[in-house]
Amino acid sequence: MSGADHGRRLMVEQLRARKIRDERVLDAMAAVRREDFFEGADPYADAARAIGEGQTISQPYVVALMLEALSLRPSDRLLEVGAGSGYAAAVASELVARVDAIERIGTLADRARKRLEGRRHVHVHHTDGSEGWPQAAPYDAILVSAAGARVPPALLEQLADGGRLVMPVGPAAVQQLTLVTRDGDKLREQGLGGVRFVPLISG
């Protein structure tokens, strides 16, 4: 077993210890080589890492927690806002039928697109994430990997009936990971715990 394979196995064990229960999510985390998306030492440490341009790759636990909260099904269509390195999109692609990943920083979008080559049902778009990707809406699940004071209205509009959205909501110092579920015209919110993400920037 290589060092990377050993690190990935230990990561999954740590996720189980931290109460990640969805076996599909755990299998997806085990299937994706995190070292392909992060250029640095110890890629499987449970910590966020800088990826340039003032952005980060989220810690494995937070990626797993957000994906588990979305209750993903193989037929789902998922939108990710804030693709960054492309890692979360790669893991999500193991779980759903289609992933549209948005990244507003061109250099990061280009790198993510290259890293995700070969995953034919993943599409990386260089645009404003707060506007979503209406061309392929509605989405069964929306994963927002950046924080804001509120969920952008455009994202809620692109959430299918029965769809789930997870996003860190709040100011820079105090954010609550929030799950929003659509039931017809009604939206239900549930807090999942405190987190800290880079800000979602429009434009």
Active-site annotation, residues: 58
Q: Are strands 186-195 and 175-183 parallel, antiparallel or unpaired?
A: antiparallel
C-beta of residue 57 within 8 angstroms of C-beta of residue 84: yes
Question: Exposed e or buried b for every residue in 21-51, given b needs 16+ CB within 10 A?
Answer: ebeebbebbeebebbebbeeeebbbeebbeb
| DSSP alpha helix (H) spans, 85-198 | 87-93, 106-115, 153-157
Query: Which amino acid, residue 42?
Result: D
**146: helix, coil or strand?**
coil
Q: How many CB atoms lie within 10 A of CB 190?
A: 13
d(CA 60, CA 28): 12
d(CA 146, CA 82): 6
